[in-house]
């Protein structure tokens, strides 16, 4: 950018304008203008002075070409392996890949293997759902889901680290796992502003249509919705679990005059469209299970405590992103990009 302005700087200086005025007019630092003017007066040119120091010897056209060709044949190439093969530093390889080749590392993601028919159905239903939610319903939708939590500590392999002056022992870095840890199934729901109480399913109890209606919809959702929404309209969302799509369950919504997303309307294979799946559960687990729990009572207490502390801005941001995700699903012809 400075190089483009250098002729204008010299022209303005020759016309009698002061350096400070030139800098103000061209929106440049005064010291930069002064340096360019001094160089012109000393050398008769605005070109950069010859640089001292060791010239570039690693990032040669030959090396760049070889690395480009290897990545073209195998885009999963390791930067460290490329560095060893060419006997240059990791940093040099990354500089070539990023600055010269304009390539960036993207994480590989697991996705649902959908048939073409399933993709088409997802697009059709996502279009219809998007129209419905963008008609003022999105922020008044109760998004619900169930998740299994265990007493074991949850670790993010990508981000969790131990700070130490030397490599810690294996026992300090290891997170112990058992074959069958104590666990509890949890049901919950959120809107852009509110959260339902969490429902803990007793061990050994299966969430069938009778349990879902009696212990969740009738005992929790109905009284909570009356207190929260009063007479305002709202929308209920649930996934395609058998207990949710059963005729008895669908009839309960009809009998209680609850507007809900019917099983024919919800896009199948869509954890990427439910805020509980793609945001809330993961956040809750990272907070409540940051350390292992002695028993289920400790786990449940931590879940309730952290559930109540979920910030309002996170709820709203998660719910508002549903529209973006529906549009992305439509643009991608029904593909799922995260699970």
Q: What is the pTM of this model?
A: 0.72
28 lies in the same domain as 70: no
323 lies in the same domain as 232: yes
236 lies in the same domain as 305: yes
Residue 172 located in a structural domain: no
User: What is the Cα–Cα distance from 237 to 323, expressed in whole angstroms?
Assistant: 14
What's residue 150's pLDDT?
96
What's residue 339's pLDDT?
47
Asked if residues 283 and 318 have their Cβ atoms less than 8 Å apart, the reply is: no
CATH number of residue 146's parent domain: 3.30.420.10
Residue 291 located in a structural domain: yes
Tens-digit pLDDT string for the chain (339 aa):
567 788 888 888 899 999 999 888 888 899 998 988 998 888 888 887 776 666 556 788 889 999 999 999 999 988 899 999 988 999 999 999 999 899 988 877 777 788 899 899 999 999 999 999 988 899 999 999 999 999 999 887 777 777 776 765 555 666 777 788 999 999 999 999 999 999 999 988 999 999 999 999 999 999 999 999 998 999 999 998 999 999 999 999 999 999 999 989 999 888 889 999 999 999 999 999 999 999 999 999 999 999 999 999 999 999 999 999 999 999 988 887 654
285 lies in the same domain as 320: yes
| One-letter-per-residue 3-state SS of the chain | CHHHHHHHHHHHHHCCCCHHHHHHHHCCCHHHHHHHHHHHHHHCCCCCCCCCCCCCCCCCHHHHHHHHHHHHHCCCCCHHHHHHHHCCCHHHHHHHHHHHCCCCCCCCCCCCCCCHHHHHHHHHHHHHHHHHHCCCCHHHEEEEEEEEEECCCCCCCCCCCCCCCCCCCHHHHCCCCCCCCCEEEEEEEECCCCECCCEEECCCCCCCHHHHHHHHHHHHHHHHHHHHHCCCCCEEECCCCHHHHCHHHHHHHHHCCCCECCCCCCCCCCHHHCHHHHHHHHHHHHHHCCCCCCCHHHHHHHHHHHHHCCCHHHHHHHHHHHHHHHHHHHHCCCCCCCC
Asked if residues 156 and 286 have their Cβ atoms less than 8 Å apart, the reply is: yes
Residue 297 located in a structural domain: yes
The token pair that represents 127 in the structure block:
């279009």
92 lies in the same domain as 134: no
Q: Which of 50, 39, 42 is nearest to 2 (CA)?
A: 39
193 lies in the same domain as 242: yes
User: What is the Cα–Cα distance from 97 to 89, expressed in whole angstroms?
Assistant: 13
Domain with 308, as residue range(s), is 116-157+180-331
Residue 51 located in a structural domain: no
What's residue 45's pLDDT?
84
Residue 23 located in a structural domain: yes
137 lies in the same domain as 34: no
What's residue 54's pLDDT?
60
90 lies in the same domain as 218: no
Residue 87 located in a structural domain: yes
| Total number of domains constituting the chain | 3
Residue 153 located in a structural domain: yes
146 lies in the same domain as 68: no
Asked if residues 238 and 260 have their Cβ atoms less than 8 Å apart, the reply is: yes
Tokens 């996502």, residue located: 126
What's residue 169's pLDDT?
58
Residue 125 located in a structural domain: yes
Question: CB neighbours of 110 closer than 8 A, spacing ≥ 6?
Answer: 339
30 lies in the same domain as 139: no
230 lies in the same domain as 87: no
Task: Classify 89 in phi/psi space as left (phi over 0), alpha (psi -120 to 50) or beta.
Answer: beta
10 lies in the same domain as 142: no
What's residue 172's pLDDT?
61
């Amino acid at each position: 950018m400075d190089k483009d302005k250098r002729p204008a700087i010299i022209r303005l200086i020759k016309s009698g304008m002061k350096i400070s005025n030139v800098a103000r007019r061209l929106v440049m630092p005064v010291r930069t203008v002064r340096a360019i003017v001094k160089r012109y007066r000393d050398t008769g040119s605005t070109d950069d002075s010859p640089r001292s120091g060791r010239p570039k010897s690693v990032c040669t056209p030959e090396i760049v070409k070889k690395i480009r060709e290897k990545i073209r044949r195998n885009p999963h190439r390791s930067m460290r392996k490329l560095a060893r093969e060419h006997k240059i530093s990791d940093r040099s390889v990354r500089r070539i890949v990023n600055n010269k080749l304009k390539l960036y590392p993207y994480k590989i993601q697991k996705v649902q293997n959908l048939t073409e028919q399933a993709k088409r159905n997802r697009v059709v239903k996502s279009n219809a759902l998007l129209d419905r939610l963008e008609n003022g319903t999105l922020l008044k939708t109760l998004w619900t889901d169930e998740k299994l939590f265990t007493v074991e500590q949850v670790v993010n392999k990508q981000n969790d680290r131990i700070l130490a002056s030397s490599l810690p022992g294996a026992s300090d870095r290891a997170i112990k796992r058992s074959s069958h840890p104590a666990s509890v199934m949890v049901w919950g729901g959120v809107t852009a502003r509110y959260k339902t109480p969490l429902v803990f399913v007793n061990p050994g109890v299966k969430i069938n249509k009778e349990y879902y209606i009696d212990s969740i919809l009738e005992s929790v959702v109905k009284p909570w919705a009356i207190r929260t929404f009063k007479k305002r309209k709202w929308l209920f969302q649930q996934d395609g679990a058998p207990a949710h799509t059963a005729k008895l369950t669908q009839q309960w919504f009809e009998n209680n005059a609850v507007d809900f997303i019917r099983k024919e309307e919800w896009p199948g294979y869509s954890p990427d469209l439910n805020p509980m799946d793609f945001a809330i559960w993961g956040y809750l687990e990272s907070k409540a299970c940051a350390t292992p729990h002695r028993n289920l009572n400790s786990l449940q207490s931590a879940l309730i405590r952290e559930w109540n502390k979920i910030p309002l801005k996170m709820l709203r941001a998660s719910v508002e992103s549903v529209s973006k995700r529906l549009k992305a699903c439509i643009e991608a012809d029904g593909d799922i990009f995260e699970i």
